[in-house]
Amino acid sequence: MKRRVAILISGRGSNMAALIKAAAAPDFPAEIALVISNRTEAAGLEKARAGGVPTLVIESKPFGKDRVAFEAVLQSALDQHGIELICLGGFMRLFTAEFTRAWYGRMLNIHPSLLPSFPGLDPHGQALRAGVKLSGATVHFVIPETDAGPIVMQGAVPVSDHDTADTLSERILEVEHRIYPEALRLLATGRVRIEGDVCRTAGSGGSENFLISPVVGSGAE
């Protein structure tokens, strides 16, 4: 049976769309059963509906800083829809430690850098200021600390001397759309296990944990 997945969004839902497209394949081991947004105006909601996925809005503003109350409503919705796994797709609200622990090993996030480098805000700007030659994206399990959970999969792109935050972001987004569905596939098929603070992938020999994805015409020297 396919694992039931909820995607949580706050904006355009770019990675959400990639996950929905991947899950439409008959052999994909998970189904996107629900998309939840904490913002009524999130553009991703219409994309989800167009893809035939049920949507739900739980506005976060009325809850203010009361994260516990917001999460109680969220958890109720997840229970009602029989959700087994969560994918965060640009969900701009922090969770309590209690919520992340309750979903530990079952909630994924994607961040546009090669973690543990450049967590938090403005990862592309951080990468350019540091002068790195490679950047990319990381799919990881969610823990109470921001962008710090066990790494499931990474994808890398070269960084050009001519890059701006916008051009780098565009190339990394292409990688995000490739590795997020693959990371979900691994999790849904039970091929991922967590050992301490490290994620292991059964049967991969480590080769699937890192994907180098140079882009033709990127301008990398």
Which residues are designated catalytic? 111
The set of residues, in sequence order, having a beta carbon less than 8 Å from that of 154 and lying 6+ positions away, is 114, 115, 136, 137, 138, 139, 179, 209, 210, 211
In angstroms, how far apart are the furthest CA atoms of the chain? 52
SS3 category, 43: coil
Residue 201: which H helix or E strand, with range?
Answer: strand 198-201
Beta strands 85-89; 107-111: pairing state: parallel
State the Cα–Cα distance between residues 33 and 136, nearest whole angstrom: 28
